[in-house]
Amino acid sequence: MVHWQWFLRRRQLFYGTCCVLILYLIHGALIDSAQEDSQVDLRKELIFLRKQGFFQSKDPGASNAQIPTVFLIMPTYKRPTQIPDLIRQCHTFLAVPSFVWILVEDAPERSDVVSNFLRRCGVPSIHLNAATPEKLKIKTQQRKRPRGNFHGTKCRRHFRFSFFVCVRRIEQRNEGLRWIRENTKGIAGVVYFGDDDNTYEHQLFEEMRDTKRVSVWPVGIAGGVMVEGPIVDPSTGKILKFNAAYKPSRKFPVDMAAFAINARLFHEKPEALFDIPKRDGELEGEILKYFLDSPFDMEPKADFATKILVWHTRTSSAVLTQEKKLKEPSDSHIKYVWT
Amino acid sequence: MVHWQWFLRRRQLFYGTCCVLILYLIHGALIDSAQEDSQVDLRKELIFLRKQGFFQSKDPGASNAQIPTVFLIMPTYKRPTQIPDLIRQCHTFLAVPSFVWILVEDAPERSDVVSNFLRRCGVPSIHLNAATPEKLKIKTQQRKRPRGNFHGTKCRRHFRFSFFVCVRRIEQRNEGLRWIRENTKGIAGVVYFGDDDNTYEHQLFEEMRDTKRVSVWPVGIAGGVMVEGPIVDPSTGKILKFNAAYKPSRKFPVDMAAFAINARLFHEKPEALFDIPKRDGELEGEILKYFLDSPFDMEPKADFATKILVWHTRTSSAVLTQEKKLKEPSDSHIKYVWT
Ligand SMILES: O=C(O)[C@H]1O[C@H](OP(=O)(O)OP(=O)(O)OC[C@H]2O[C@@H](n3ccc(=O)[nH]c3=O)[C@H](O)[C@@H]2O)[C@H](O)[C@@H](O)[C@@H]1O
Ligand SMILES: O=C(O)[C@H]1O[C@H](OP(=O)(O)OP(=O)(O)OC[C@H]2O[C@@H](n3ccc(=O)[nH]c3=O)[C@H](O)[C@@H]2O)[C@H](O)[C@@H](O)[C@@H]1O
């Protein structure tokens, strides 16, 4: 039988064990209540984690295994649907790890609307601007689209004034590339070009992350067809042909949303920039030509190019025909800047 | 001076304390590595938390403080932009706690495309269907929109066949309300009616969550103006007037996206259902009339109705004019169901 003194001498061990248990329970309770909070504060948590992910990947010498960063260069311009379009992108990008959103305003200055938006959104971002040159803005009194050779530019009516703006977002994308060259030396990453009203599925960014040189995948509702993109032989993994109905003669018959480029290549070829293409609708080739001899050298992704993970959706421009019936603008009481 | 025996007798206390520290450190390390994983697995985490939130709120007797559940009833229909539109909604809703997405297909059967989509998305959801009655489908050989009195319905050309479909999504919304009545008795919640191409900011759902009877807020790009919604006196919190240019004579001059209704009210008034409105564009009044005598009884939200947290965006329908140039459909090699 155990002597009563044994208990006495072990009493302090018993107290110690009690301490462990109590501390453990308190800790557990704290974590539980934190979990309840996180139900409500999930978005803040997400933002925090995203930011962490960004800063970690800025330190390439860090010991823990790193995933390459996705750098998304996206032009944007002022219009009534701009903020809702950007909000939907924000909601998508919040759940993408190691991601930097390079938003380039098509304007002579960066706007407060966009910088307030980016602060509130919480996705790690870089806010730039580059104006479309005045010579590409065509003033007109007619309601007709101007005709003539604009060297592959697209013309659209300004949403408020009566002139057409003919743009191809060359300046904005080059401004993004300038930032890439200045800030990503030695960082493992991939560069992708986005439109602010396209639809991106989260998985798309995981597919492009390990691009060796240039990767490629199908794009939904692009080039006038349901799906535009490569057709791949699943047994060899090689591209057999490109499914394009719009200008199949293009050297690189793919949409801007169809490919990503390893960021390293932009440091290796400092001259690689967008320029006005010789023929309409061949802007993609303007950048791809620096890195590829043939479109068949691209690395197919998305399960041998059988999955659609990006869609060339477009947001209809706002119909504001009733505005003139009101005495003052309908948004005069609105804290319009999204804070 | 402390006797050496004091230390001997306290040695076990010292061991106990060491145990506490070691356990604490192990625990900390586990949590740290979990945080690293969650960088990559954030989406899974989100899905998990969302689901937890849903199941917790299904048990109204649970002891921990509950937030009311948002039940969003949303009609949807097959078209080329359907999946991208739903994906963007999914990305938004993933970060909304205590949320149930009631997606009602405008079709005689639930489709595999939508059920696969919902499974993959991970937002807690209910998949229903309700077909628009045949009499509201107007067959026509002409490419013209049919004219005549369709009792407030809207007619659009079917995206593939040459007939017009005149719908107002009454059947789909009523099917959603049927589910609410069968499944939410005794659950604190709020019912909201959504469109699958609108834009919702996360904060909107927090604003509507504590609706007492019917809450209201401004909607961006609605009714032909930049903002449609109530004007509120910030000193009293009372609604002064409704800013509507489109049919300001409507009894409830608000958009479908402008209000939410406490779920309890649908149990109190089992007869409250949508019906064909007497006049065009007054569908909102069809449901509001059951719960309110006057639009001024609504509870204004969104910082005295000065913030836009929802936009009536529309996705342009897909342009598939090049499809005919191809020998086989452009999507024949695609695993089209989004899995
Ligand atoms: O030819 C072009 O420039 C564009 O044509 C198509 O795109 P599309 O749908 O016609 O154009 P938008 O979606 O209206 O605009 C593409 C991007 O440029 C931006 N943009 C548009 C218009 C403008 O005046 N300025 C401007 O920065 C948009 O915000 C958007 O992010 C392609 O998808 C784009 O990649 C290409 O840049
Ligand atoms: O009058 C109407 O019925 C609709 O008019 C406007 O909406 P609008 O932008 O014109 O319509 P859509 O956005 O094309 O459709 C509204 C919802 O109904 C669904 N829908 C549309 C068309 C259809 O044939 N079947 C169907 O279920 C859409 O997927 C969407 O979720 C209003 O915002 C809607 O709340 C209202 O239901």
The answer to whether A233 is a known ligand-binding residue is no
Residues 6+ apart with CB under 8 A from B90: B117, B121, B122, B123
Instruction: Tell me the residues of chain A between 275 and 304 that have a Cβ less than 8 Å away from chain B.
Output: 303
B137/A52: higher pLDDT: B137
Residue A279 has a pLDDT of 72
**Cβ B12–A16 below 8 Å, yes or no?**
yes
Closest alpha carbon to A307 in A228, A217, A240: A217
CA B76 to ligand 2 center in whole angstroms: 8
Helix axes A82-93, B82-93, angle to 10 degrees: 70
d(CA A53, CA B38): 10
Tokens of B286: 């069809």
B232/A36: higher pLDDT: B232
For residue B165, give the ligand 2 atom closest to its CA. Answer: 24
A80/A167: higher pLDDT: A80
What does the pLDDT look like over B261-319, one tens digit per residue? 999 999 999 999 998 777 767 889 999 999 999 999 999 999 999 999 999 999 999 99
Chain region(s) in chain B for CATH 3.90.550.10? 47-132+169-311
Contact of B164 with B137, CB cutoff 8 Å = yes
For residue A256, give the ligand 1 atom closest to its CA. Answer: 35
In chain A, which residues have their Cβ closer than 8 Å to the Cβ of B85?
199, 313
Tell me the average pLDDT across A160-165. Answer: 58
**Cβ B313–A84 below 8 Å, yes or no?**
yes
DSSP A305-326: HT---EE---BPPP--TTGGGS
Compute the mean pLDDT over every residue in chain B, rounded to the nearest whole number: 83
Q: Which ligand is the nearest neighbour of the Cα of B224? A: 2
Instruction: Assign A287 a pLDDT band (cuts: 50, 70, 90).
Output: very high
What does the pLDDT look like over B36-61, one tens digit per residue? 444 445 555 555 555 444 444 444 44
**CATH superfamily, domain at A47-57+67-131+169-215+256-294:** Spore Coat Polysaccharide Biosynthesis Protein SpsA; Chain A (3.90.550.10)
The answer to whether B173 is a known ligand-binding residue is yes
Measured CA to CA in angstroms, residue B308 lies from A245, A329, B59, B176, B237 at distances of 41, 15, 33, 26, 17
Residue A275 has a pLDDT of 86
Residues of chain A with pLDDT > 70, as a percent, come to: 70
Scan for tokens 């440091």, then name that residue: A267
d(CA B283, CA B250): 10
Lowest mean per-residue pLDDT among A202-206, A273-277, B240-244 = A273-277
Maximum separation of any 2 CA atoms in chain B, in Å: 107
d(CA A40, CA A38): 5
Measured CA to CA in angstroms, residue A313 lies from A78, A309, B88, B143, B311 at distances of 18, 12, 11, 24, 17
Compute the mean pLDDT over every residue in chain A, rounded to the nearest whole number: 83
Residues 6+ apart with CB under 8 A from B244: B223, B225, B228, B250, B253, B254
The answer to whether A112 is a known ligand-binding residue is no
Chain region(s) in chain A for CATH 3.90.550.10? 47-57+67-131+169-215+256-294
Tokens of B105: 């297909």
What does the pLDDT look like over B172-231, one tens digit per residue? 999 999 999 999 999 999 999 999 999 999 999 999 999 999 999 999 999 999 999 999
In chain B, which residues have their Cβ closer than 8 Å to the Cβ of A42?
46, 49, 95, 97
Residue B312 has a pLDDT of 97
In chain B, which residues have their Cβ closer than 8 Å to the Cβ of A67?
40
Residues of chain B with pLDDT > 90, as a percent, come to: 61
Residue A266 has a pLDDT of 98
Query: CB-based contact (8 Å) between A28 and chain B?
Result: no
B76/A57: higher pLDDT: B76
Residues of chain A with pLDDT > 90, as a percent, come to: 61
What does the pLDDT look like over A171-224, one tens digit per residue? 999 999 999 999 999 999 999 999 999 999 999 999 999 999 999 999 999 999
Catalytic residue at B284? yes
Contact of B265 with B177, CB cutoff 8 Å = no
What does the pLDDT look like over A75-119, one tens digit per residue? 999 999 999 999 999 999 999 999 999 999 999 999 999 999 999
Instruction: Report whether residue A154 contacts ligand 1, using a CB cutoff of 6 Å.
Output: yes
d(CA B69, CA B190): 6
Q: Using CA positions, which residue lies closest to atom 18 of ligand 1?
A: A75
CA B255 to ligand 2 center in whole angstroms: 12
Task: Please state which of the four CATH numbers 3.90.550.10, 1.20.120.160, 3.40.50.300, 3.30.420.270 is assigned to the domain occupying B47-132+169-311.
Answer: 3.90.550.10
Residue A308 has a pLDDT of 96
Measured CA to CA in angstroms, residue B42 lies from A50, A53, A256 at distances of 9, 11, 28
B245/B296: higher pLDDT: B296
DSSP label of A185: T
What does the pLDDT look like over A41-75, one tens digit per residue? 555 555 555 544 444 444 444 434 589 999 999 99
What does the pLDDT look like over A182-192, one tens digit per residue? 999 999 999 99
Closest alpha carbon to A213 in A264, A254, A257, A178: A264
Residue B213 has a pLDDT of 98
Query: CB-based contact (8 Å) between A220 and chain B?
Result: yes
d(CA B316, CA A221): 11
